[in-house]
Amino acid sequence: MLDALIFGCVVFPFLAALYLWLCPVKLARISLPPVLGIIALCAVGLALSVRKGGAELENYVVTTLCGLKVSSLIGFLDFVLLFVILYLAWRHRHTLALILVAAQLAGLAVLDAVIMRNAPEGIPMLLRFDSLSVVMISIISLVGGVICYYALGYMKEHEEHLHLARSRQPQFYAVLTLFLGAMNGLVLADNLGWVYFFWEITTLCSFLLIAHDKTAESIQNALRALWMNMAGGVAFLLALMMLQNQFSTLSLQLLTAETTSSVVFLLPMALLCIGGFTKSALTPFQSWLCGAMVAPTPVSALLHSSTMVKAGVYLLLRLSPMFADTALGVGVAVFGALTFFATSALAAGQSNAKRVLAYSTIANLGLITACAGMGTETAIAAGVLCVIFHAVSKGLLFLCVGSIEQRIGSRDIEDMRGLAQRMPTTTNITVLGIMTMMLPPFGMLLCKWMAIEAATSVPGGTVLLILLLALGSALTVMYWARFAGIMLGYNVQGPRPPAESQDCTIICSLRVLAGAAIVLSLLSPFLYQVVMGAPASASSQPFAAGWLPLTVYPLFAILGFGWWIAAKAARRQADQAPALPYFAGIQALQDGKEGFIGPMEAFVPAKASNYYLSHIFGEEKIEPVANIVALTMLALLLGGMLL
């Protein structure tokens, strides 16, 4: 039974992707929901099996697949994958990507033919079943599945806007499905060699998805994502070569047992961390993820919530026990906190809704990275819980903004002023998603609270960590509150717009994720207990299992009561004749627009807009400084391992 569930989570998506790629459009659209359903059911079944199986699953191995040795098969596919990426780089004449792929091909050949020549034949594929892998499988298959289902309604309208002569939906759905399978394989594999294989599949998938529309802008951003992630792949492969040469194993479990503070161990750990930084688009690699915004909304949601960037922080959380209480750990924590603060500031200066979401994503990935660097029990729990809550809430927000953009033709927050009147359902769901990112007692705020508490026990960077995390958290409240406030504004002029209409796949996806965000926050005390693996000790209050319900549920009751009072008061409010705003001059109404009579008796239309403090939080102000500081820290991180 377990074999079938693993097959459904990892191998089946690869086969389904091939099938979808070859399907006509109508058959692909009909086939995608059952494919996603099978993957989701297998993920749930696997999670339940692991929960019941306990210790007997710790050394679960897969030696063969369809009669073939897994080690030989993946070794062969490694080279096939890199040659495919090499072809894409050559096709687009991207010199840097060509060099990086060629370097990986050479390194992989050396690893397989020279360094591993004395390794035993047919190394079994050891699978890792623990709370972290179960959490990741669930996020990838369930949240990712909802996003892929949303794509059915979104892509139909998206292609109508592009006026394509031939639909590319089958290929789009195929790559989405392949992405899910690659991520599931990545989080289950214990051997770093196989993690690397699935790691590079996600790089290929991200390139194909970002470049899907085949515009000059989308291809340029896809190539940037390709070379940056390939640079991280080079660092990853160098680490594999060092670890195999020194310790004769690439098993995460065995390497954890070999943990040492020597250079021969911490240097490859630092290289793996750099690979994780690039995959998660931490500063200074954030440009590839911001550039991915040109892709269709399901791509943005998938990359930012349940896949791709989560692969990087997953690796860092997995490696955390190996560099905890070392200079590398402190460096990773400070690096993550710096990203959290810098990208929160960048988000505060944005009026483009998708860029706000993009920088917010990178900020939260920085927070998870800081937790991995701190490495304490509370910090790791905060990081894993942040992965859960962020995946659901951010996936929801990206889908909401994508739906809004299709209706109003803009991503600018200022164009969403009064959206509650035009798209009430989508607006309410969006505001709910924003609340889960910033307000107590929702899960994201709990994670930040836990991370700041964990920072108080980190030697060597305590004050700096607390300062960066606290300031970053304050900035998140600033840009989320502004976003929600603009949407909830009310425009009294003009006729009442028609009732909002959305494709059933879109509105169902939004409602499912909105419900999941609320339910998961309600279950946060129990999720904390699952992540920790055992009830927390009294010394970790107020995060102890017995204290969390007393903290969370009264706050939910107060929030719910306040919401009910506000809704009741709003329903009692009678319609009144609108009054023109006062502009310290002669008021006027022209062509349905409010304004005033200005100089030379000219009509000046009134325009309400927010202040984005671009002279403080603008990209041209913060990004160069943040990139220089981050690159300096990376150099110090590697240099410190060599000294």
| pLDDT value, residue 86 | 95
**pLDDT value, residue 256:** 83
- Cα–Cα distance list, 536 to 204, 218, 373 (Å): 41, 47, 21
Look at residue 540 in the predicted model and tell me its pLDDT. Answer: 46
CA distance 604 to 23: 56
Distance in angstroms (rounded) separating the CA atoms of residues 210 and 113: 34
Task: Supply the pLDDT for residue 510.
Answer: 92
Question: For residue 441, is the peptide bond before it cis, meaning its omega torsion is within 30 degrees of 0?
Answer: yes
Q: Which pLDDT does position 120 carry in this prediction?
A: 55
Going by C-beta distance under 8 Å and a sequence separation of 6 or more, which residues neighbour residue 415?
408
The answer for residues whose C-beta is within 8 angstroms of residue 64's C-beta and 6 or more apart is 70
User: Positive or negative, the Cα torsion across 154, 85, 231, 73?
Assistant: positive
Burial class (CB within 10 angstroms; exposed 0-12, middle 13-18, buried 19+) of 61: exposed
State the pairing for strand pair 593-597/61-62.
unpaired
Bridge partners of 522, per DSSP, are: none
CA distance 344 to 478: 10
Q: How confident is the model at residue 468 (pLDDT cuts 50, 70, 90)?
A: very high
Whether 93 has a pLDDT exceeding 80, the answer reads: yes
Out of 42-56, 119-133, 396-410, 414-428, least confident range: 119-133
Whole-number pLDDT of residue 555:
81
Percent of the chain with pLDDT over 90: 44
The pLDDT of residue 414 is 87
Per-residue pLDDT, 539: 44
Task: Indicate the SS3 state at residue 191.
Answer: strand
Instruction: Name which of 157, 176, 175, 177 is nearest 167 in CA terms.
Output: 157
Q: How confident is the model at residue 475 (pLDDT cuts 50, 70, 90)?
A: very high
Identity of residue 428: N
Which is more confident, 439 or 105?
105
The runs of H, that is alpha helices, within 349-415 are 353-374, 377-408
Please give the C-alpha separations between residue 515 and each of 69, 117, 392, 398, 612, in angstroms, as whole numbers: 43, 52, 10, 16, 32
Write down the domain spans for the chain: 1-247+294-307, 583-612
pLDDT for 542 = 45
Residue pair 318/387 in contact (Cβ under 8 Å)? The answer is no
Q: What's residue 409's pLDDT?
A: 86
Those residues with Cβ within 8 angstroms of residue 509's Cβ, 6 or more apart along the chain or in another chain: 146, 147, 149, 150, 399
Any residues with CB less than 8 A from the CB of 432 and at least 6 apart, and which? 514, 517, 518
The SS3 of residue 604 is strand
pLDDT at 299 over 50: yes
Choose among 246, 371, 227: nearest CA to 313: 371
Q: Is residue 239 within 8 Å of 262, Cβ to Cβ?
A: no
For residue 346, the model assigns a pLDDT of 93
Distance CA 154, CA 296 (A): 8
pLDDT band at 531, cuts 50/70/90? confident
**Secondary structure (3-state) at 503:** coil
DSSP string, 252-293: HHHHHHT---SHHHHHHHHHHHHHHHHHTT-TTSTHHHHHGG
Window from 22-31, 45-54, 388-397, 572-581 with minimum mean pLDDT: 572-581
Sheet of 603-605: strands edge to edge?
Answer: 587-590, 593-597, 603-605
Partners of residue 597 on adjacent β-strands = 603
Q: Does pLDDT of 401 surpass 80?
A: yes
**pLDDT beyond 70 at 577:** no
Strand partners, 596: 587, 604
Q: Which of 1-5, 115-119, 492-496 has the lowest mean pLDDT?
A: 492-496
pLDDT digits (tens, 9 = 90+) for 241-298: 999 888 888 888 888 887 777 778 889 999 999 999 999 999 999 999 998 888 899 9
pLDDT, average across residues 474-501: 76
Average pLDDT, the chain: 85
User: What is the token pair recorded at 635?
Assistant: 């150099």
N-to-C CA span, the chain: 51
Token pair, residue 252, equals 């995460």
Q: How many CB atoms lie within 10 A of CB 590?
A: 11
**Does the pTM exceed 0.85?**
yes
d(CA 61, CA 124): 6
Length of the chain in terms of residues written: 643
Chain centroid to CA 260: 31
- 184-241 pLDDT, tens digit per residue, is 999 998 889 889 999 999 999 999 999 998 899 999 999 999 999 999 999 999 999 9
pLDDT of the residue at 89: 93
Q: Which range among 43-57, 263-277, 326-340 shows the weakest confidence by mean pLDDT?
A: 43-57
Summarised one tens digit per residue, pLDDT across range 424-435 is 889 989 999 999
pLDDT at 55 over 60: no
For the chain, give the percent of residues with pLDDT over 70.
88
3-state secondary structure at position 441:
coil
Helix and strand totals (H; E) in the chain: 27, 7
CB 443 within 8 A of CB 464: no
Q: What is the pLDDT of residues 599-620, one digit of tens each?
A: 778 888 877 777 788 888 888 8
Beta-carbon contacts of 170 under 8 Å, excluding residues fewer than 6 positions away, are 20, 21, 22, 23, 24, 25, 28
Residue 134 has pLDDT above 50, yes or no: yes
* Whether the predicted pLDDT of 121 surpasses 60: no
- Residue with the two structure tokens 């310790």: 247
